[in-house]
Amino acid sequence: MNATIAMITLRSMLGRRRALLLLGLPALMLVLAGILRATGIADMEVSVTVLQRISLTTLLPLLALIAGTGVIGPEIDDGQIMYVLTKPVPRQVIVLTKLAVAIGLIVVFAVLPTLVAGLLLIGTAEGLASAFTVGVLVGGVAYGAIFVALGVISRNAVTVGLLYALVWESLLGNFAPGARSASVQQWALSVTDALTGVADVTSTVDLGVAVPLLALVTVAGTLLAVVRLRSLSVASAE
């Protein structure tokens, strides 16, 4: 990991309009959780619905898309990546640094708000808040690797990522039986299910399958980004 690249990337991410999305999306979830808690509606079923449908299914992939594609995609599009490529920094270090920043943003803007929302909704009952926090974390790491790789591969990373998140993950991954086993959301939900005894939290993918697949996707996405960045010449970046 390169500290200079990390700081430049972080300043770039937090200095753009996308920072408003990073802040706005979790803020809406926290406001909703606070309202539900204040009105006494936040029972176990409602809490599961909010944490699964809003945090895991909606907030996480969107924030991961913003963070993952944003840490490297815009630099490739406008040619600023040339500055980094001309430095004596191995391409794998560049990718790992960008991924680390993306994961850090996901932790701050998705994982921690999930924990706070869970505690607001139901407290520590049944370990629900902590279970979803871990599920969002492992899912966020996998999403981060996927979207960083997408940011290196495609100039239309955001569009492709939205189609992936909305069509494959949210639509097919939840309703098409054959696609569920290939859904990051379902893998993350499997981890959540294993950490809480709440009956409303169920995944169609076994934990023994979900964990290796999460690890495989994370490693594959990282390696793909490294290979693609190595093939990206300074001339093409310009």
On the question of pLDDT at 237 being above 50, the answer is no
How many domains are contained in the chain?
1
The token pair that represents 73 in the structure block: 């995609």
pLDDT digits (tens, 9 = 90+) for 3-56: 888 888 888 888 767 677 788 889 999 999 999 989 888 789 999 999 999 999
Q: What is the pTM of this model?
A: 0.90
CA–CA separation, 115 and 125 (whole Å): 13
pLDDT digits (tens, 9 = 90+) for 89-108: 888 899 999 999 999 999 99
**pLDDT in the model for residue 235:** 44
CA–CA separation, 22 and 25 (whole Å): 6
Q: Which long-range contacts (CB under 8 A, 24 or more apart) does 153-156 make?
A: 153/224, 153/225, 153/228, 155/73, 155/76, 155/77
Domain hosting residue 146, numbered range? 3-237
**pLDDT in the model for residue 180:** 67
- Return mean pLDDT, the chain: 86
The token pair that represents 81 in the structure block: 């990546």
